[in-house]
């Protein structure tokens, strides 16, 4: 199985977009997305220095544009990607890249959202002097406890022995003077405590904006930063992406889900390298490919061919049919039925948001919800069956489409 991943802020380097302008169609797309983002993406991606592209309001649109452009260069016909890619995920702002890549939102919507995300997060970061520090090594529980002892937030739990602490510069200074045992600290060149409560004003603004965004259910499994769950509702996906601005990124759990899915190949879109590096340490046996320049496109397509998953019809996450799927958020055992013990059988009429069962794992229990409501057409699993992340569980004919 193949998973496509998109990096987050900090992966960009000066001039990284320059070689991509030689790929047919990329310059035209970047010109159009520059208009949508109200930002000269070509200039920032080819001529600007490191300080200029470190600006949150610049870095985020640049990253999303680069990732989508490269994905379209690999898959000129997106429908082909939906047949071959088993799952997609993005780290932090990379979630918008992944949302566009899975067909949940358009590239234009992604660029408009990332424009406002970057601006609102930069504004929120300007209120108080905040920053972030990477913690490498140490015992995870001890590291998290020490971070919280100093009033900080473990904002990125990246797996492979890496956790990022975020908070005020005063809190970080005290933390650096009193580090966790057997851990190394590295200050990050960011101007804000991203994925913490300091970003709450940005969440409020983005919640207002996303109410009007047209979304579809993703065409492939989408792995969420919040908890590593596979999300199949486009509206829930967007809500999670917005909430994630002020909440920790659990990339460690995303990689656990990839392991549960049986991923064999991980391809990272530009500016690639960060997530493949984490995967090499956390997912032994999984082949990785960091797509950095267009001269790697042929090799990338060969990599995709080796790991591509041809979806079986019953497991297709197509958004075209008149019915909708409820899927498993993670590996576990399915429990069919309502919380009061009543069963939900084919022909049953469900209210919008009705609870129809649960998936239970060793770590947690997640209630299954029929987001659209409607009529149960069929269960695709039996009560007590083991299920995999993103596995379709029940088909429902919806009462109304989500808006």
Q: Is residue 312 part of a domain?
A: no
Judge if 13 and 112 occupy the same domain: yes
Of 187, 216, 232, which closes a domain? 187
Residues spanned by the domain of 380: 322-397
Judge if 335 and 254 occupy the same domain: no
Judge if 203 and 303 occupy the same domain: yes
CATH number at residue 155: 3.30.70.250
Cα–Cα–Cα angle for 251, 257, 263, rounded to 5 degrees: 110
CATH number at residue 29: 3.40.366.10
Judge if 229 and 335 occupy the same domain: no
Judge if 135 and 225 occupy the same domain: no
Judge if 349 and 371 occupy the same domain: yes
Give the Cα separation of 88 and 222 in Å (integer). 5
Q: Is residue 54 part of a domain?
A: yes
Catalytic residue selected from 34, 91, 92, 198: 92
Catalytic, 232? Answer: no
Judge if 25 and 111 occupy the same domain: yes
Q: Is residue 317 part of a domain?
A: no
Of 143, 167, 187, which closes a domain? 187
Print the SS3 string covering the chain: CEEEEECCCCCCCCCCCHHHHHCCCHHHHHHHHHHHHCCCHHHHHHCCCHHHHHCHHHHHHHHHHHHHHHHHHHCCCHHHHHHHCCEEEECCCHHHHHHHHCCCCCHHHHHHHHHHHHHHHHHHHCCCCEEEEEEEECCHHHHHHHHHHCCCEEEEEEECCEEEEEEEHHHHHHHHHCCCCCEEEEECCCCCCCCCHHHHHHHHHHHHHHCCCCCCCCCCEEECCCCCCEECCHHHHHHHHHHHHHCCECHHHHHHHHHHHCCCEEEECCCCCHHHHHHHHHCCCCEEEECCCHHHHHHHHHHHHHHCCCCCHHHCCCCCCCCEEEECCCCEEEEECCCCCCCCCCCCEECCCEEEEEEECCCCEEEEEECCCEEEEEECCCCCCEECCCCEEEEEECCCCCC
Q: Is residue 90 part of a domain?
A: yes
Catalytic residue selected from 91, 150, 195, 372: 195
Judge if 12 and 86 occupy the same domain: yes
In the chain, the number of structural domains is 3
CB 330 within 8 A of CB 228: yes
Judge if 14 and 27 occupy the same domain: yes
Catalytic, 372? Answer: no
Judge if 64 and 210 occupy the same domain: yes
Q: Is residue 192 part of a domain?
A: no
Judge if 231 and 337 occupy the same domain: no
Task: Going residue by residue through the chain, which has 403 residues, state the pLDDT in tens, using 9 for 90 and above.
Answer: 999 999 999 899 999 999 999 999 999 999 999 999 999 999 999 999 999 999 999 999 999 999 999 999 999 888 888 889 999 999 999 999 999 999 999 999 999 999 999 999 999 999 999 999 999 999 999 999 999 999 999 999 999 899 999 999 999 999 999 999 999 999 987 879 999 999 999 999 999 999 999 999 999 999 999 999 999 999 999 999 999 999 999 999 999 999 999 999 999 999 999 999 999 999 999 999 999 999 999 999 999 999 997 543 334 555 555 678 899 999 999 999 876 777 788 888 888 888 999 999 988 899 999 887 889 999 999 999 999 999 999 999 887 544 4
Ramachandran angles phi, psi of 112, nearest 5°: -65, -40
Q: Within a 10 A sphere around the Cβ of 200, how many other Cβ atoms?
A: 11
Judge if 115 and 258 occupy the same domain: yes
Distant-in-sequence, close-in-space partners of 298: CB < 8 Å, separation ≥ 6: none
Q: Is residue 41 part of a domain?
A: yes
Give the Cα separation of 250 and 46 in Å (integer). 32
Q: Is residue 283 part of a domain?
A: yes
């Amino acid at each position: 199985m193949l998973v496509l991943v998109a990096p987050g802020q900090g992966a960009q380097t000066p001039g990284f977009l320059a070689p991509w302008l030689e790929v047919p169609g990329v310059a035209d797309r970047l010109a159009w997305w520059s208009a949508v983002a109200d930002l000269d993406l070509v200039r920032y991606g080819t001529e600007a220095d490191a300080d200029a592209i470190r600006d949150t309001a610049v870095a985020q649109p640049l990253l999303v544009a680069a990732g989508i452009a490269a994905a379209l260069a690999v898959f000129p016909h997106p429908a082909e990607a939906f047949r071959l890619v088993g799952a997609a995920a993005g780290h932090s702002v990379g979630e918008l890249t992944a949302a566009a890549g899975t067909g949940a939102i358009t590239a234009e919507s992604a660029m408009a959202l990332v424009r406002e995300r970057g601006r609102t997060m930069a504004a929120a970061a300007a209120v108080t002097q905040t920053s972030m520090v990477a913690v490498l090594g140490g015992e995870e529980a001890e590291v998290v406890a020490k971070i919280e002892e100093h009033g900080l937030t473990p904002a990125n739990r990246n797996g492979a022995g890496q956790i990022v602490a975020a908070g005020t510069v005063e809190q970080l200074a005290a933390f650096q003077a009193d580090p966790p045992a057997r851990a190394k600290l590295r200050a990050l060149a960011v101007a804000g405590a991203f994925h913490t409560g300091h970003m709450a004003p940005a969440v409020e603004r983005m919640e207002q904006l996303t109410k009007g965004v047209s979304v579809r259910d993703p065409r492939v499994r989408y792995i969420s930063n919040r908890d590593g769950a596979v999300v199949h509702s486009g509206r829930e996906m967007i809500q999670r992406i917005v909430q994630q601005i002020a909440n920790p990124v659990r990339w460690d759990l995303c990689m656990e889900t990839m392991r549960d899915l049986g991923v064999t190949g991980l391809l990272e879109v530009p500016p690639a390298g960060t997530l493949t590096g984490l995967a090499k340490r956390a997912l032994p046996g999984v082949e990785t490919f960091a797509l950095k320049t267009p001269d790697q496109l042929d090799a990338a397509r060969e990599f995709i061919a080796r790991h591509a998953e041809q979806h079986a019809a019953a497991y297709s996450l197509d958004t075209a049919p008149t019915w909708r799927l409820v899927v498993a958020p993670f590996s576990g055992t399915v429990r069919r039925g309502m919380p009061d013990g009543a069963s939900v059988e084919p022909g049953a009429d469900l209210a919008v948001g009705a609870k129809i069962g649960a998936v239970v794992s060793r770590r947690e229990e997640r209630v299954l919800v029929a987001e659209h409501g409607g009529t149960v057409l069929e269960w695709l699993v039996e009560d007590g069956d083991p299920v995999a992340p993103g596995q379709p569980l029940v088909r429902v004919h919806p009462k109304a489409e989500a808006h």
